[in-house]
Amino acid sequence: MATVHVNGVDLRVNRYRVGHDGGRTVVVFVHGLGIVDHSGLAFTLGMPLATDAETVLYALRGHGHSQVVPTGYRVADHVADLVALLDALGIDQPVHLVGCSYGGAVVVTAAARHAARVASLFLLDPVLPVPGWPERVLALLEPVAAHLAGGYTIEDVVAALGGVSRRKAAAAARRAERLLLGTTLLDDVRAEGPLAAGDIAGIDCPVRKAAAAARRAERLLLGTTLLDDVRAEGPLAAGDIAGIDCPVVAVYGARSEMVPQAEALVALVPHAEVRLIEGADHLSVFGRTRELGALIRQSV
Amino acid sequence: MSTAGSVIRSDPLYDGVRTTVETAIRDVVGELYYEECQVGLDSTFAEDIQLESMEVMEIAERLIEEYEGRVDFVAWFADMELDDLIELTVGSVVDFIVASLEDAG
């Protein structure tokens, strides 16, 4: 892992290749917005694909161990980070971009603005920069920010978690007792609100992880201009999207709320190939790693 | 991936690797939480220690740095399915490192 300073921000970056010299095939992953970073993708897709290509994963500004800068959370900022990162890493050949969720808006915009840098797009349950996308993202983030600003109890977070093992439950109970009754943690984190219901459902963790996630969400949503930046966003011009001529594959969970955007994508980019993964929604589709890995291999 | 039921080695190489792995985990999660989890060789990173992926990444990076050039963690992870990752135990990491070091001579 390395920290690379580009475009005025420190980004945490991982590059992988296994059993080959990397050749000319480079796959760069762009993760989603919120409490996630690139590490989950690194284990489930980045490292497995490294047997066939060089894979590059990094934490978007404000996410994971990348720098939390106070401002600059427009898609254009993330695109500028991405291009500057490729420059800093000495990657001058066109790369295959994998955009996950909000990362889809970043890589589509990158392809539209920097066509010479992009060999193909693989969109994984993407948010696309089409009309209405900021509202779609804000509908998820603004309630979280309201909770964070308005106060909450850690019990709210814990109540959303279930199905734990006896050992985990016992460990969680011990931790909860010590933390909640024996320390000032409750007062300290009361300002760290519950996450969006969808985000909590995807976490499956006891107090410690939930509190950490809440801290990260608070840091990003209340400590930066991210929300204002998203509010100020508009769609990418239809002509710009239509001008994308590299191969495009978009994979959606068949039950994802993102699926309706696929029509807009195909209308603008007729050569885009849309695949559905049955039984998966926006969160669970990222766990279908075997299918996704095979599809990305086919794509690149 | 569990080492439960297997014979636990105790020799300088194994003990040294085990200490290194346990120290990496301890450094990332903190002493208090480490003790509360009663981390052992059969503890899984995902379920028992409840690590987030970015914490597992941090531990892996520390071990990659420690055993640079002698242990190919990325190739090992690359060969894992999601279930293998979820069931990954402290003992399996220790075993993999020890086997790699022994293979490397």
CATH number of the domain to which A15 belongs: 3.40.50.1820
Confidence of residue A220 (pLDDT cuts 50, 70, 90): confident
Interchain CB distance below 8 Å, B57 and A14: yes
CA nearest to B43 within chain A: A167
What is the bridge-based pairing of β-strands A26-30 and A95-100? Answer: parallel
Residue with tokens 């696309």, as numbered in its chain: A128
What is the bridge-based pairing of β-strands A273-277 and A9-16? Answer: unpaired
Confidence of residue A153 (pLDDT cuts 50, 70, 90): low
Length of chain B: 105
Where a domain ends, among A200, A227, A254?
Answer: A227
**Spatial separation of the C-alpha atoms in residues A99 and A101, rounded to whole Å:** 7
Identify which of A58-72, A95-109, A161-175 has the greatest average pLDDT.
A95-109
Q: For the segment A89-126, what is each residue's pLDDT rounded down to a tens digit?
A: 999 999 999 999 989 999 999 999 999 999 999 999 99
Interchain CB distance below 8 Å, B50 and A205: yes
How many structural domains comprise chain B?
1
How many structural domains comprise chain A?
2
**Spatial separation of the C-alpha atoms in residues A244 and A137, rounded to whole Å:** 23
Q: Would B61 be classed as within a structural domain?
A: yes
Instruction: Tell me, yes or no, whether A12 and A119 share the same domain.
Output: yes
Interchain CB distance below 8 Å, A18 and B53: no
- Give the pLDDT of residue A167: 39
Q: CB pairs below 8 Å between A and B: how many?
A: 71
Interchain CB distance below 8 Å, A289 and B82: yes
From the list A185, A182, A223, A184, the residue with the least C-alpha distance to A207 is A185
Task: Kindly report the nearest CA distance between residue B5 and chain A, in angstroms.
Answer: 18
Q: Would B6 be classed as within a structural domain?
A: no
- Give the pLDDT of residue A250: 96
Q: Would B100 be classed as within a structural domain?
A: yes
Contact of A73 with A206, CB cutoff 8 Å: no
Beta sheet of A26-30, edge-to-edge order: A2-6, A9-16, A54-58, A26-30, A95-100, A118-124, A248-253, A273-277
Angle between helices B12-29 and B90-104 (to 10 degrees): 130
Q: Coil, strand or helix: which one is B68?
A: coil
CA nearest to B72 within chain A: A18
CA nearest to B38 within chain A: A171
Q: For the segment A8-47, what is each residue's pLDDT rounded down to a tens digit?
A: 999 999 999 887 665 679 999 999 887 678 998 999 999 9
**Spatial separation of the C-alpha atoms in residues A32 and A128, rounded to whole Å:** 12
Which distant-in-sequence residues (6+ apart) come within 8 Å of A298 by Cβ? none
ipTM entry: 0.86
Instruction: Tell me, yes or no, whether A7 and A111 share the same domain.
Output: yes
Structural domain for A258, as ranges: 2-131+235-299
From the list A123, A96, A114, the residue with the least C-alpha distance to A32 is A123
Q: What amino acid occupies position A257? A: E
Mean pLDDT of B61-71: 92
| A48 in contact with chain B, both atoms CB, cutoff 8 A | yes
Instruction: Tell me, yes or no, whether A220 and A263 share the same domain.
Output: no
- What number of CA atoms fall less than 13 Å from residue B72's CA on the CB side? 13
Q: Would B1 be classed as within a structural domain?
A: no
Instruction: Tell me, yes or no, whether A222 and A161 share the same domain.
Output: yes
Structural domain for B83, as ranges: 12-104
Q: Would B7 be classed as within a structural domain?
A: no
Interchain CB distance below 8 Å, B81 and A290: yes
Cα→Cα distances B92→B44, B84, B88, Å = 9, 11, 7
Burial class of residue A153, CB neighbours in 10 A (0-12, 13-18, 19+): middle
Where a domain ends, among A227, A251, A266?
Answer: A227
- Give the pLDDT of residue A206: 47
| A167 in contact with chain B, both atoms CB, cutoff 8 A | yes
Q: For the segment A186-212, what is each residue's pLDDT rounded down to a tens digit?
A: 343 333 233 333 333 333 334 566 667
Interchain CB distance below 8 Å, B78 and A50: yes
From the list A101, A195, A193, the residue with the least C-alpha distance to A140 is A195
**Spatial separation of the C-alpha atoms in residues A213 and A202, rounded to whole Å:** 12
| A50 in contact with chain B, both atoms CB, cutoff 8 A | yes
Mean pLDDT of A241-265: 92
Beta bridge partners of A251: A124, A275
- Give the pLDDT of residue A74: 86
